[in-house]
Amino acid sequence: MEQPSAAIGGPVSHAIFRVARLHRMLAGSLLRPTGLYPGQELLMMHLWDHGPQRQSQLVSVLDSDAPTVTRTVQRLERAGFVRRRPDPTDARASLIEPTPASRHLREQIEQIWQQLEQLTVGPLDPADHSSALGILEQLERNLVTATTARACDDEGAN
């Protein structure tokens, strides 16, 4: 495959794109036997760690948006991994909790995360490993800055 011009215009952007795609594919493929789709495991893990949650809490913790969480919860509910209970203190809200049946999943998920991490990091020596993490965190900070800057611009424009 020849060098696409995307790589010329933005080598880092293009690399992020490809790494993310491969990583998501690999995660999906590792997760497949459990019946979960990528993204659902984050929600489950948070429920296991922190107990019953409101959807709004899940939205802020997962840094997702309300419609996505609504449907993810619906799918997990249909799959039997999650259950809803009315919030006694607020009739608008419901509490999402993992079902007893889902306990079995937890160790699978943890093992998959370990495996995914190891496959991703591969044969990197510890120095490269920590510099990889540092670079990614720097990129994240840059992107957060850029995103919030754009959000403010938009506000000003409106």
Partner DNA sequence: GATTGGTATATGTTCGAACAACTAAGATCC
Partner DNA sequence: GGATCTTAGTTGTTCGAACATATACCAATC
135 part of the interface to a second copy, by CB under 8 A = yes
CA distance 144 to 136: 12
For residue 79, the one-letter residue type is A
**Smaller CB separation from DNA, 94 or 99:** 94
Q: What one-character-per-residue DSSP string does 96-126 give? A: EEE-GGGHHHHHHHHHHHHHHHHHHHTT--H
87 part of the interface to a second copy, by CB under 8 A = no
Binding site partner of 125, from DNA, a second copy, none, Cβ cut-off 5-8 A by kind: none
Is residue 90 classed as helix, strand or coil in its secondary structure?
Answer: coil
* Contact stretch for a second copy (CB under 8 A) within 18-26, 69-77, 78-86, 90-98: 18-26
- Report whether 56 contacts 66 (CB < 8 A): yes
CA distance 98 to 18: 34
* Contact stretch for a second copy (CB under 8 A) within 26-34, 69-77, 83-91, 94-102: 26-34
Please name the residues in contact with 130: beta carbons below 8 A apart, sequence gap of 6 or more.
Answer: none
Q: Hey, which residues between 5 and 64 contact DNA (CB under 7 A)?
A: 21, 24-25, 28-29, 37-40, 54-56, 59, 64
13 part of the interface to a second copy, by CB under 8 A = yes
- Residues near DNA (CB under 7 A) are 21, 24-25, 28-29, 37-40, 54-56, 59, 64-68, 70-75, 84, 87, 90-94
